[in-house]
Amino acid sequence: MSTVKTLTGEEHFKAVISHAKEYGFIFQSSEIYDGLSAVYDYGQCGAPLKNNIREYWWRAMVQMNENIAGIDAAIFMHPTVWKASGHVDAFNDPLIDNKDSKKRYRADVLIEDHIAKIEAKIEKEVTKAKQRFGESFDEAMFRSTNPRVVENQKKIDEINQRLKDCLERNDLEGVRQLILDLEIVCPVSGTRNWTEVRQFNLMFATQMGSVSEEASTIYLRPETAQGIFVNFLNVYKTGRMKIPFGIAQTGKAFRNEIVARQFIFRMREFEQMEMQYFVRPGTEMQWYEHWKQARMQWHLTLGISSTKYRFHDHIKLAHYANAACDIEFEFPFGFKELEGIHSRTDFDLKSHEQHSGKKLQYFDPELNESYVPYVVETSIGLDRMFLAVLSATYKEETLEDGSDRTVLSIPPALAPVKCAVLPLVNKDNLPEKAREIMDQIKFGFDCMFDAKDSIGKRYRRQDAIGTPYCITIDHQTLQDNTVTIRERDTMQQERIHTSEVSRIVEERVSMKALLSKVS
Interacting residues with ligand ATP (CB under 6 A): 223, 255, 257, 266-267, 270, 272, 337-340, 379-381, 383-384
CB of 344 to ligand ATP, least distance (A): 11
The amino acid at 247 = I
Q: How far apart are CA 142 and CA 130, in angstroms?
A: 9
What's the residue count for the chain?
519
What gap in Å lies between CA 194 and CA 425, rounded to an integer?
64
| Closest approach of ligand ATP to the CB of residue 360, in Å | 22
- Residue number, 45 or 380, with CB nearest to ligand ATP: 380
DSSP label at 450? Answer: -
Q: Quote the CA–CA distance of 379 and 338 in Å, as a whole number.
A: 9
Task: Let me know: does 486 contact 469? Beta carbons within 8 Å.
Answer: yes
Contact 403, 3 (CB under 8 A): no
Least distance (Å) from ligand ATP to the CB of residue 69? Answer: 20
Shortest Cβ distance from residue 339 to ligand ATP (Å)? 5
**297, 262 contact by CB (below 8 A):** no
Q: How far apart are CA 188 and CA 336, in angstroms?
A: 22
Q: Which is nearer to ligand ATP, 250 or 272 (CB)?
A: 272
User: Measured from the CB of residue 282, what is the shortest distance to ligand ATP in angstroms?
Assistant: 25
Closest to ligand ATP by CB, 258 or 421: 258
Which residues have CB under 8 Å from 12's CB, separation 6+? 332, 391, 394
Nearer to ligand ATP by Cβ, of 114 and 384: the residue is: 384
Judged by beta carbon, residue 270 or residue 287, the one nearer ligand ATP is 270
Task: Report the nearest approach of ligand ATP to the CB of residue 149 (Å).
Answer: 27
CB 225, min distance to ligand ATP, A: 9
Q: Which is nearer to ligand ATP, 68 or 267 (CB)?
A: 267
In angstroms, what is the C-alpha Rg of the chain? 26
129 vs 321 by CB, closer to ligand ATP: 321
User: What is the rounded CA–CA span in Å between residue 415 and residue 390?
Assistant: 10
Shortest Cβ 222–ligand ATP spacing (Å): 8
If the CB atoms of residues 19 and 344 are measured against ligand ATP, the closer one turns out to be 344
Which CB contacts under 8 angstroms, 24+ apart, belong to 326-329?
A: 327/295, 327/296, 327/299, 327/380, 329/384, 329/388
Q: Residue 278 and residue 267: Cα distance in Å, rounded?
A: 29
